[in-house]
Amino acid sequence: MSTIKSSSEDLTLNADGTGRDIKFQSNGVEKASISSAGAFTSTTIDATKLTGEKRNYIIDGDFTQWPEGTAATTVADTTYMSALWRSRESVDGTATSERSTDVPTVDASGHQSAYSLLLKCTGTDASIAAARNDRIEYLVTGSDFAHLHEQQVTISWWCKTSAQNSGHNYNMLLWNSAVDRAYTVSFSPTSTWTQFTHTLTLDTSGTWLFTEADIGLSIQFVLASGANYDDLTEETWGASSADMWSSSGTAISNFYDNTSNEFYLSQVGLYLGSTAPTFSSESVATVRDQVDWYVQRYDYNSVANERCAPAYAENTTVRGCLTYRNPLRATPTATISAAGTWTGFHTNGTASGVATGNGLANLGKHACHIYLTGTTGMTHREGCQVGRDSSDTTWIMLDSRH
Amino acid sequence: MIIDTVYMQEDGSFAVNEGTPDRLFVPDNMGNRHRVMIQEWIDEGNTPEPYVEPEPHWIDKRLAKMENGGYGTTGEQFEMIGEQGMEAYQAHIAKVKTDIPKEI
């Protein structure tokens, strides 16, 4: 074997002269070239080794952001669990969702996750009624979905169960915004972390939406479903009336048949093409910004009396302007902690009475009006500040999720 | 969202009590999923509490325009002095003070 080698400085291959290409041959036959314009051409390219489009269209598929909190909470229909995954449920049983540190090993997945999403059955529903179901849902915004429409995609997810429901059959489900087009495939997780991947071509029929205001694609994991929703054919796009599984395929199990049942979900990815790369997440700064487009939570807990906004006193009402750290997708719903956790502050720093009422108004994509009422001690027309009362649990959440 | 009571706000948005100390504020935009839930609540026969304009502070009442019973703008006051004289102006100020007493 002969080797061209340069250990102490760059190695230059120079096809000297205008328009000259660099050629690679084997046994006298050209196998690859780099043209004078810089284009690389090869007779065979190992596509699995390319580092081209590997964008994960699932934001925070690594479950790092939990604005609603990380502790076990009883799930309710349309309530979000982690930042962008929500519960859809109508069963008679109960379940909790929480952040778990049980994650796939690096040896298995090639990625060290910190957290997974964990659902636990806490109350049984032994026989799911025809019109009942339970799902975990992620909504791809229309403008992101536009990059995928009618193209081949691969969905990858890692999941596991408890020993009790190991081997259950659940379904991965795709819907359009109107819920009249659907695709489903069953999968059978076990009590060992397992990766599931599924490649399909996205629907070429029906109505699909592509704007920032729209839901482009709903991705769901169906854990229980009644017979009203069983009219799909597995791995085939079809018309749907909110259908979720196929009774002609693998029968769906019932996550609610035992209070020892658990379902863990981790490292979810949606990629263009026929393969899923080893899961990787964007930097935490990027993920936080991406999630901020949909939901922002402000916990004023870094110092006592932490300030939130400059303000102005109108009698005993303090009115301020809260400017968001990032713009939001749409005008948000805003939630504010109890009035007693807020205080108006004089500009010299002294507090001026705990609020007896509070609110947020003029809700925009960039800022809103925050007000505290009953802040006795303020002088009318006094410049002041809105802030945390002492070391109370003081927070605001802005929600522009679909 | 579990709706207990709904109050209209000055800007047409909704304040929602869910039976907890935290409060939810929802824009009047049917693209917002919580606004849709409020509409469903209304369609079930419920009615939001109307917005109640707060009573203005006495200082703001005195600083209102003349047509609203206040001292008037600086321009209005100059005009009164120039056209009606200082005595009429002083009488106007005294009347406003009487009509809108200082609240302590």
| Residue B52 in tokens | 């109640």
Whether chain A has a CB inside 8 Å of the CB on B100: the answer is: no
What region, left, alpha or beta, does residue A191 occupy, with left being phi > 0 and alpha being psi -120 to 50 degrees? alpha
Query: Which of A358, A359, A380 lies nearest to residue B9, judging by beta carbons?
Result: A359
Residue A11 has a pLDDT of: 80
Residue B55 has pLDDT above 90, yes or no: no
Q: Are A136 and A165 in contact (CB under 8 A)?
A: no
Provide the shortest C-alpha distance from residue A338 to chain B (in Å).
5
Q: Which residue of B has its CA nearest to A331?
A: B27
Question: Do A288 and A321 contact (CB within 8 A), yes or no?
Answer: no
Q: Are strands A367-373 and A357-361 parallel, antiparallel or unpaired?
A: antiparallel
Q: Is B31 on the interface with A (CB under 8 A)?
A: yes
Q: Which of A77, A333, A397, A400 to mutate to test the interface with B (most CBs of B within 10 A)?
A: A333
Q: Do A336 and B23 touch (CB under 8 A)?
A: yes
- Decide if B14 contacts B1 (C-beta within 8 A): no
pLDDT at A47: 55
**Contacts of residue A362 in chain B, CB cutoff 8 Å?**
11, 13
Report how far residue A37's alpha carbon sits from residue A57's, in angstroms, rounded to the nearest whole number: 32
Nearest chain A Cα to B29, which residue? Answer: A331
What are the chain A neighbours of B26 within 8 Å (beta carbons)? 333, 363
Whether the CB of A334 is below 8 Å from some CB of chain B: the reply is yes
Tokens at residue A146, please? 């536009």
Provide, as residue numbers in chain B, all residues whose Cβ is less than 8 Å from the Cβ of A337: 21-22
For residue B57, the chain A residues in CB contact (below 8 A) are 314-315, 380
Q: For residue A32, what is the enclosing H or E element?
A: strand A29-34
Q: How far is B11 from chain A (nearest CA, A)?
A: 6
**Distance set, CA B104 to CA A48, A72, A90, A368, B54 (Å):** 78, 51, 57, 32, 18
> Closest by alpha carbon to A65, among A239, A289, A268?
A289
**Between A and B, how many CB-CB pairs are < 8 A?**
64
Please tell me the distance from the alpha carbon of residue A223 to that of residue A164, in angstroms, as a whole number.
Answer: 14
Q: Which residues contact A301 (CB under 8 A, 6 or more apart)?
A: A388, A391, A393, A394, A395
Q: Is A27 exposed, middle or buried (0-12, 13-18, 19+ CB in 10 A)?
A: exposed
DSSP-assigned states of every residue in A283-331: -HHHHHHHHHTTEEEEE--SSTT-EEEEEEEETTEEEEEEE-SS--SSS
∠ Cα B50 B53 B56 (to 5°): 170
Nearest to A362 among B11, B22, B57 (CB): B11
Cβ <8 Å between B22 and A338:
yes
Q: Which of A327, A401, A389 is nearest to A358 (CA)?
A: A389
Strand partners for A371: A319, A359
Minimum distance, in Å, between the CA of residue A283 and any CA atom of chain B = 30
Tell me the C-alpha distance between A236 and A185, whole Å: 9
pLDDT at A53: 63
Report the residue from B25, B54, B60 with minimal CB separation from A359: B25
- ipTM value greater than 0.85: no
User: pTM to 2 decimals?
Assistant: 0.84
pLDDT in tens, chain A (402 residues): 777 888 888 888 888 888 888 887 888 888 888 877 777 777 776 555 555 568 999 999 999 999 999 999 999 999 999 999 999 999 999 999 999 999 999 999 999 999 999 999 999 999 999 999 999 999 999 999 999 999 999 999 999 999 999 999 999 999 999 999 999 999 999 999 999 999 999 999 999 999 999 999 999 999 999 999 999 999 999 999 999 999 999 999 999 999 999 999 999 999 999 999 999 999 999 999 999 999 999 999 999 999 999 999 998 899 999 999 999 999 999 999 999 999 999 999 999 889 999 999 999 999 999 999 999 889 999 999 999 999 999 999 999 999
Do A333 and B54 make contact, defined as CB atoms within 8 angstroms? no
Amino acid at A339: A
Best CA proximity match to A318, nearest among A348, A343, A347 = A343
The edge-to-edge listing of strands for the beta sheet with A383-388 is A351-354, A342-346, A383-388, A307-314, A317-323, A367-373, A357-361
B28 shares contact with chain A (CB less than 8 Å): no
Q: Is A125 in a helix, a strand, or coil?
A: coil
Dist. CA A226–CA A132, nearest whole Å: 5
Residues of B within 8 A of A358 (CB-CB) are: 23
Q: Which residue has the tokens 């006795």?
A: A376
Residues 345-384 of chain A whose Cβ lies under 8 A from any Cβ of chain B: 358-363, 369, 380-381
Closest B-chain CA to A400 = B32
